[in-house]
Structure 1
Amino acid sequence: MSVSSQAERKTVEVNGTRLSYLEAGSPDAPPLLLLHGTFWSRVWQPVLPLLAGELRCLALDFPGFGCSEGELEVEEASVPALAKVVEAAADALGLDTFAVAAHDIGGGVAQHLAAYSGRVTKLVLVNAVMFDSWPVPAVERFRDPALREATSTEDLLAARTKTMQLTVERPLTDEEINDYVTPWRSPARARSWMAMAAAADPRYTLDLLPALKSAAVPTRLIWGRDDDFQKVTFARRYVAELPSSDLVEVAGKHIPMEDSAQEIAAAMLQHLSGPL
């Protein structure tokens, strides 16, 4: 799997499992944890070199995703369960408080951390799940255990390969698509993806709203405005209802980092370097 030369892949042991993460930036810089959803840390690769001059970026792979070891069961793949994994990873990395940037279902995990942990200093949500925007039908159908049992590794790999071009505005090369989908050649990672899909439930982002509003963590939403999976209308609703939040719309679809890396990095740095 390709990795930017300005980011180094490392591992940290969390609850007995070695988790992989991409690190870029000085160890003395303010820490930023970057979370993925139904993809993996590869989604952050285009912006890491642009953030590394000011931040210590740590793009984590959840258990059973990307380059991490382990395999998620459905009960381990819920938003609250994954939030516990992130807190344990932060402890293992020696982080007390930290900023969080999150994409897709990782955005649900990030909102949970912002609402309940007391450790999130600032938040960036990029084309993230929120309110009842999720799960989309292609994900929701994996709640059916019979479907999960009947879906082979090859089936899931083919589906993820087909989905990739729908997530980015510019044409992806075959090499780029292969780089994104390579983890799902592993049966354990394919099963982990299906577990995350089965655990997807909007109550996790609906029930936390009172606590999220009370916490009022400074939040910037950055959105690929042509996303067919997580509509920009939900982002506009978020900034209308949640205190201390704003929205930057950019060109792109569900993974806008591939289309608007410069604009996204600039918007992130402006938000994360401002006063608390």
Structure 2
Amino acid sequence: MPETIELNVLRTTVQVDGHEASYLTVEQDGPIVLLLHGTYWSRVWLPVLGSLAEAGLRPIAVDLPGLGRSGGELTLETATVPALAEWVARFATALKLSGPVAVVGHDIGGAVAQHLLVHDRMEVPALALANSVTYDSWPVPGVARFRNPEVVAATTAEEVLTGRRLSVTTALAGAATEALIAEYLDPWTDARVRRSWMAMAGAADSRYTLDLVPALQQSTTPKLLIWGEDDGFQKVEYAERFAWEIPHTALVRIPDAGHIPMENAPDRIAGTLVEFFMR
């Protein structure tokens, strides 16, 4: 049953691969915008969903399998960028999303978004990336360590939660409060989600973005980068390089914002996305 999260924003589910895929949305007609998360969950998009809907868009922020509120569990095989892109395409089919679907990706979700565009898994008329992984900018050390099976086997639940708390606190930057941190951390109290997150970390590989660069350079699809300038995980220099090397790309820098700039400057980011997608 759909659950109201904020005014007009619902959390609901659809079956994908035999499991419930959870997503946030505003149920209305309008151009579809599919919002993807990375090593966090769909909560990163909540600050902008209402404004996107008010402008006439139909936002859909999905939790990848095994993460956030979605069912299932990721493995090293199903957590790769190509596998996640295939899952997103199946999610879109399950929702009967026909026609063009604009895509926005944050963190590793940005790699999935780039893959969807390049490999024509969906009709993507416009692509936006928010503090996304690009080139060889990832995995960052805190994620890369989980590529070692011995580290995964020796990691306790408390260590995962402690590491996630540090990451979330840093990513939220000036928006961090104890209540918001706790809200972001809630899914990781589930052992299945912790295992899925470690699988995503273990499958993180920069070749998945490096391999896309030649095709991105040939792409005429409009692209937008939105970047919190104070991001310590995905440096703004990578965004500057992407905007310089990839045609049809605009970069919007968000001052005094970290890795999750949607929490630091929701109105500006929502307005920027609306202008980009509605033009």
Q: Which residue of 2 aligns with 1:263?
A: 268
Match of 1:135, as an amino acid? P
- Gap runs ≥5 in structure 1: none
Matches of 2:197 and 2:9 in 1, distance apart? 25
8 Å contact from structure 1 (residues 221, 248) kept in 2: yes
Matches of 2:42 and 2:175 in 1, distance apart? 20
Matches of 2:8 and 2:125 in 1, distance apart? 25
Q: Which residue of 2 aligns with 1:196?
A: 200
Is 1:93 the counterpart of 2:98? The answer is no
Matches of 1:16 and 1:196 in 2, distance apart? 20
SS in 2 for 1:38: coil
1:115 to 99, 115, 118: 118
Is 1:38 the counterpart of 2:34? The answer is no
Deviations 1:209-266 (A, max 9, x none): 1222223221100000110000000001001111111000012010001101011011
Shift of 1:205: 0.3
Q: Which residue of 2 aligns with 1:63?
A: 65
Shift of 1:171: 4.5
Q: Which residue of 1 aligns with 2:148?
A: 144
Q: Which residue of 2 aligns with 1:153?
A: 157
Q: Which residue of 2 aligns with 1:273?
A: 278
Match of 1:74, as an amino acid? L
8 Å contact from structure 1 (residues 154, 185) kept in 2: no
Alignment root-mean-square deviation, CA: 1.4
Q: Which residue of 1 aligns with 2:258?
A: 253
Shift of 1:4: 2.3
Q: Which residue of 2 aligns with 1:208?
A: 212
- Gap runs ≥5 in structure 2: none
**Percent of aligned positions that are identical:** 48
Match of 2:46, as an amino acid? Q
Match of 2:39, as an amino acid? T
Matches of 2:25 and 2:58 in 1, distance apart? 7
Q: TM-score, normalised to structure 1's length?
A: 0.96
Matches of 1:95 and 1:204 in 2, distance apart? 26
2:105 to 102, 115, 127: 102
Q: Which aligned runs of 4 or more in structure 1 are off by greater than 3 angstroms?
A: none
SS in 1 for 2:12: strand
Shift of 1:25: 5.0
